[in-house]
Structure 1
Amino acid sequence: MKIYILSLFLISLSIYNYACSCNNIPFKDAVEWADEIFIGRLIEIKEVEYEISELNAGEKYTRLWYAKFEITKKWKGSSKKYIKVYQPSTSCDFGFNSLNKHYLVYTKKEEVFKFFNTENEISRYTTWMCARNREYEFVNEPKDSDYFKLNKKFPNTIELVDNTPLHWKLPLLGVLIFISGLFIGRKIKSLATITQRNQ
């Protein structure tokens, strides 16, 4: 009986130690901590790294994931319109889980991730549950909210630039060049035909 009680105590202690509970950090501290502060629409959630369970063969557990945002308003940071925010799948993660919803996000670029399938430690934007992130609704915003405080602290928002990778743009550019080539070729052929008739 004593062994059973001791086992329960150790399990509850380990759960307590790994649980993450906190209040939001003060607004001033969050602004100083963050490299990027923005409102963005959640457009993708993706698992990056995982671990296969030793106890339950075949089960995998996410160890690193990201939430990708299309930014609609930015107060602090770069001019990037799209940002991926990485988290290490712990109890301290902020739960970005509603696709196409808008979020107010505080994030910092840190070299923190070196996981199972990652060759090198990489520098990525990250955040956590106490960094004042939240799902953002555009109506009924309280006057003392972060939105109004950010507008006061950063009166000029950042003009955004599309930073999506070129790999999806190149095929589109190739198609446009091909179509333009066909159009120009037909015009040249048409002009040549007209010129021959006039001679």
Structure 2
Amino acid sequence: MFSPLIKELIESLRCLPGVGPRSAQKMALHLLERDFQGADKLADALREAVDKVGRCSSCRTLTEEAECQICQDPERDAKRLCIVETPADVVALEAAGSFGGRYFVLLGHLSPIDGIGPEELGLDRLETLVSHNEVEEVIIATNSTVEGEATSHYIAEKLKQMNVKVSRIAHGVPMGGELEYVDGNTLALALEGRKTL
């Protein structure tokens, strides 16, 4: 039905999360039918990003510089380190605006089934970073999944041997959430993470 180039474009768009065959087809046809300028801009931006964006030498988030803006910022508290799974987690925490320390991006979580162990997460690099920067507090902000919890526990045990204060972000009821609509696991975590008023 479609020519080989159009088919290739549709298949290429399917690599994006949440984009199925129909969405990819709709996007491809839109770009080719109605938005040549947008298609050119998208192609140029994607090529430039692929060529120039890499990992920060310190925290491993995405950046086109050797060291990201957060790691370069002398105002950031180098004694506080927040460990996250992905660069998107850094963006989310920065948007919240309540953390003034630095980050370490694991680029995933422990998953022996997928062949992802401590080496793949750069945990040796994390230990070096903690000792070299004389980090006093590490906040583990991995996802609230089985793998995220296992990763958190593993890292906590490693860092406790280094005499570092280790904490885990709280999980629980979201702001504006009504208890009757919150699942049981979330409620259990909220009760466990309660604090004295």
Superposed pair shares fold, TM > 0.5: no
Q: What is the TM-score normalised by the length of structure 2?
A: 0.29
Q: Give the structure, 1 or 2, with the largest relative contact order (CA under 8 Å, sep 6 or more).
A: 1
Which structure carries more strand by proportion?
Answer: 1
Bigger Cα Rg: 1
Q: What is the TM-score normalised by the length of structure 1?
A: 0.29
